[in-house]
Structure 1
Amino acid sequence: MTLATLPVTPEPTGSGAAACADQATLALYRHSPDLLLQAVARAARDDFPAWLTHVQPAAACTRPVRLAGTLTTIEAATGRILDLRHTADMPDGTIYKPCGNRRASVCPACSKRYQNDAYQLVRAGLVGGKGVPAEVARHPAVFPTFTAPSFGEVHTRRVKKHTCARRTECDCRAEPCHARRDLTVCPHGARLACFARHDLADPRLGTPLCLDCYDHAGQVVWNLYAGELWRRTTITIRRYIEQLCRERGVPKVPMTYERNGTIRTRWVLPVRLSFGKAAEMQRRGVAHFHAIIRLDGFDPDQPDATVAPPSALDADDLVAAVDHAATTVVFATVPHPHEPGGWRIGWGDQVLTKVITVAALGEVTDAQVAAYLAKYATKSTEVTGHTSGRITTDTIDLYADRRGTHVERLVDACWRLAHARWTCKGCGQHSDRWVCPVCAARGREALWPVPESSPFRRLGRWAHMLGFGGHFLTKSRRYSVTFAVLRGQRIV
């Protein structure tokens, strides 16, 4: 039984609380700041059973959505109104709906339900079910992990050999953080050595050895472009597999389609790749990706069907394709006033790819992969110690400090790069604001906004996510079912 299905409210039964207190006392309880006394007053009301039934759908939610208005039932064929109700006639005058937030730090109940759905979604793409054919269990699939490059040395925890039962509660003896024979000192005077054996709760984990040497701007820009890097990586993996098909003589198949009223034929390779991805925020404040890549076939007569791939390809070819893409996909961002040549965007050196198997004969099983990805579907930046909402000009000073902690410098880098100085075409003045203050003082008709829509403007919008603005769980269209399908099945 999960948190989302716990009977948070009891079943409607007869109320006997009224015998414990008179009506005057209950009236005082109703307005008391003590939640327990408020609950007693609520239980003593005559409509308590109806209220229990009314709030049951959102009983476990910590911040339910309250809907108010009119509910109209209309016959589709004739447009005749069959029923008309108003929420004012319902208990509390509102309809309660779960918030549906995926973050465990915001709503544990809704995030647990989201995590359970994510597990079913990911596992269905590996073993079938939920509308996915069971034959996908025999398709080659791999589980790669793509990490970000280094932006400076940070405090880490490394264990050569684990003897613990669970990694989340690991108490194994760690290796020294950064043991060095010579005590190297950076240009800022900080020692680039640490002989501590950090435990899991050490707040120094993920923080730089030298805050001034660390490339905070480069890290937040990498977070911003991580989604584009993943897109280019999937394209490169597809091209690598297609090249293998041509080298091994896999015949193409004709695909017929219609364009502008004309029937056309295109010859394509009978392979298709399906992807699933979960993003994990590391302690240093940078995202890395855990992915599932499944090799499918393609039948032009059934373009939406999931069929077996050609026998000439196997899981080892997927591993080779991932390794090739991880080392070759590199690009530069558009220029920025602080970095005219742009930032280099690419994957780090620590790329690990495991073969997925259903029969527990490979490196990792389908259940392990599904549980691993579902776990990170409810996470955000909590591991870094930063849990704010969207940051605005009124709240930026609460979270950003150019000379502050590691996370404060990351937030400051997001805000500073998003509001870089630009030249107003109206008066030639330099400003870092969204609207030129000189032109604004002359009247609204003389306003000159920022001339170009720079992608770095999004850093200000995603400063609370340390620059990462992508989804934490994504998949390709034909990998598995959707969250909407799972929710619909649960409602039915």
Structure 2
Amino acid sequence: MHKASHPDHHRWISHTANTRGCVRPVRLTGSLHTVDTTTGEILGTRHTATDMPDGVLYVPCGDRRASVCPPCAETYRADTYQLIRSGLVGGKGVPESVAGHPAVFATFTAPSFGPVHTRVVNTKTGKVRPCRIRRDARPCPHGKLLTCTQRHTDNASCLGRPICLDCYDHAAHVVWNAWAGELWRRTMIRLGRDLRPYEHAHGIRLRVSYGKVAEYQRRGVVHFHALIRLDTRPNTDPKRGPLQDPDAILPPPEDITPVDLAELVAGAASTTAFRTPDYLDTGHSWPITWGPQIDIRPVAGLADGEITSEAVAAYLAKYATKATEPTGLPTTGRMTAEAAEHYSDARTHLGRLVAYAFQLGTPPEDLVPLGATDDERDQLRRDWHDTWGRLRRWTHMLGFGGHFATKSRRYSTTHRELRAARRIWRRTTQQQWQRDQGHDVDDTTLVVADLTLAGIGWNSTADAQLAASAAARAREYRALVKQERTTTSA
């Protein structure tokens, strides 16, 4: 209340507006130097301690997880939407001709590690089917019938939980999560090899571009949603003809259809498989393959069909801000031994997943044999860190250590380019506003920051509420202006 009634309140609101309601902004202290870009002369200096409210500069945390910071996650989601959509219909530096390239929307799932409670809805009648009915049901080795006749609601707590906890292969589950990224990489390599007959037939080279997001199922295993597009590689060999820009995105031959691409993707997914390295001296390894429930849909006629570019981009972008929330595991940071012990519980599904991930990723005491040289010791530790050590490092993600939103290099623009464009737009808009107010704006100056970290988060709960309220009003105003513009143009 004191800050809200202070005469300098509006200055504080303006100073914190760039956080856009961030829940835990980064506080920076130091100096901002205005430099003449033509001469290198420092024209002026502002110090956070004397020239800014609270004596700090607030910067958004930029966390992509909605459970940690909803405002920053919304910005990340919007950027991901633009990134995915531009790869479908063009824009943001991508030619509009990509709208005519063959493309498929694919979902890659994990195999079964044991029967779990599910909710299946009949697509024709809309009725919920019984969870798991078996006419010849027999008790499992642990004396439990692997059946369930209930029709679960959408928010039932048992969804994704094993019907028999002891029959479920929790070790294979977390190991699959850890190697899911490698399985995707090998699948894309396999898909590139399967394109060679088309390359030989047309005398060209083809390239697969993709944008994908990872999502946790309720059982705690990741699966991927991907938009896969087919391009022609530019010619960089003078023997093949005129040289072309290596970064160009060129259309493939017209006789290669989205259905052909869907068949190639399905074939690559069904034939890609490998085994993990042997676990220590046990000689045991796990097979890594995709599950049988792979959904691949050709994307054609985005402007006229039921699957629109906006729908596909929005569907993928909404998963980019999620983490382990669907599984019921709280969003936490890296787990220490104490934290892993706290979450480990042999009586629960998630507790066993955490326990297996941490235990399999913990190096044994005899990892380095006696008498090993320094080079051998370092090599053994690096090998462990690159393979099984990942399970302990990513225990809080149930073994999965990949990025939730990734793309191939030439699919579309990048998050960095989108952020840079947003900064340029804001700076240009501010300069234009200053000119409209009659102020002189010098385009030959540059602000150089010399800042250090002062802390994370607002100084008080009241500050956080004031900043969140101001950001909410700003969002409502922008939404109203956008709606008015849409109505006027229509």
For the aligned pair, the TM-score class normalised by the smaller chain equals 0.7 to 0.9
Match of 1:250 in 2: 202
**How far does residue 422 in structure 1 lie from its aligned partner after superposition?**
4.8
Partner secondary structure for residue 124 of structure 1: helix
Task: Tell me the equivalent position of 1:133.
Answer: 95
Deviations 1:131-159 (A, max 9, x none): 21111111111111111000000000001
In 2: Cα distance, 1:56 partner to 1:362 partner: 41
- Structure 1 match to 2:33: 72
Unpaired segments of 5 or more residues in structure 1?
1-39, 164-171, 252-268, 429-435, 437-444
1:226 pairs with 2:180: yes
C-alpha distance in 2 between matches for 1:250 and 1:422: 58
Q: How does 1:1-400 map to 2 (within 5 A)?
A: 40-76=1-37, 78-89=39-50, 90-161=52-123, 172-246=126-200, 249-251=201-203, 269-300=204-235, 301-337=244-280, 340-362=283-305, 364-387=307-330, 388-400=332-344
Following TM superposition, by how much is the alpha carbon of 1:377 offset from its aligned partner in structure 2, in angstroms?
0.6
| Aligned 8 A contact 2:20 2:71 in 1 | no
Deviations 1:411-450 (A, max 9, x none): 101101011535255659xxxxxxx9xxxxxxxx9xx779
Amino acid at match of 2:48: T
**Superimposed CA distance per residue, residues 165-188 of structure 1 (whole angstroms, 9 cap, x where no aligned partner):** xxxxxxx53111111224421111
The 1:450–1:128 alpha-carbon spacing in structure 2 relative to 1, beyond 3 Å, is closer
Q: Distance in 2 between matches of 1:67 and 1:296?
A: 45
Q: Secondary structure at 1:276's aligned position in 2? A: strand
Select 1:484's aligned residue among 400, 410, 416: 416
CA distance in 2, matches of 1:425, 1:225: 24
The CA RMSD measured in Å over matched residues stands at: 2.2
SS in 2 for 1:68: strand
Pairwise CA distance, 1:382: 0.1
Residue 360 of structure 2: aligned partner:
417
Deviation at 1:113, TM superposition (A): 1.2
1:358 Cα shift?
Answer: 4.0
Give the corresponding residue for 2:380: 451
**Contact 1:358/1:366 (CA < 8 Å) preserved in 2?**
no
Contact 2:210 2:226 in 1 (8 A): yes
Equivalents in 2 of 1:326, 1:126: separation in Å? 22
Deviation at 1:79, TM superposition (A): 3.8
Structure-2 change in CA distance of 1:395 and 1:449 (3 Å): farther
* 1:270-290 CA-partner distances (Å, limit 9, x unpaired): 322211111111000000111
Change (3 A) 1:484 1:55: same
Are the equivalent residues in 2 in contact too, given 1:354–1:364 (CA < 8 A)?
no
Residues 121 and 426 of structure 1, relative CA distance in 2, 3 Å threshold: closer
Shift of 1:161: 2.2
The aligned amino acid for 1:117 is D
Q: Distance in 1 between matches of 2:329 and 2:176?
A: 18
Distance in 1 between the 2:170 and 2:368 partners?
31
Shift of 1:204: 0.2
Q: Cα offset for 1:320?
A: 1.3
Deviation at residue 126 of structure 1 after TM alignment: 0.4
Query: CA–CA distance in 1 between the matches of 2:367 and 2:77?
Result: 48
TM-score (norm 1): 0.79
Q: Distance in 1 between matches of 2:306 and 2:28?
A: 49
Deviation at 1:360, TM superposition (A): 4.9
* 2-structure distance, mates of 1:309, 1:370: 22
Q: Which structure ranks higher in relative contact order (CA pairs < 8 Å, sequence separation ≥ 6)?
A: 2
The worse-fitting range, judged by mean Cα deviation, of 64-73 and 287-296 is 64-73
Match of 2:451 in 1: none
Q: Is the 1:357–1:365 Cα contact (8 Å) retained in structure 2?
A: no
Question: What do the CA deviations read for 1:231-286 (whole angstroms, capped 9, x no partner)?
Answer: 0001111111122332xx212xxxxxxxxxxxxxxxxx332221111111100000
The DSSP-based 3-state class of the residue aligned with 2:338 is coil
> What letter is aligned with 1:71?
L
Which has the larger share of helix? 2
Compute the TM-score of the two structures, normalised by the length of structure 2: 0.79
Q: Once the two structures are aligned, what percentage of the paired residues are identical?
A: 50
Match of 2:240 in 1: none
Offset of 1:83 from its aligned partner?
2.0
For the 8 Å contact 1:355–1:363, the answer to whether it is kept is no
- Distance in 2 separating the partners of 1:162 and 1:468: 36
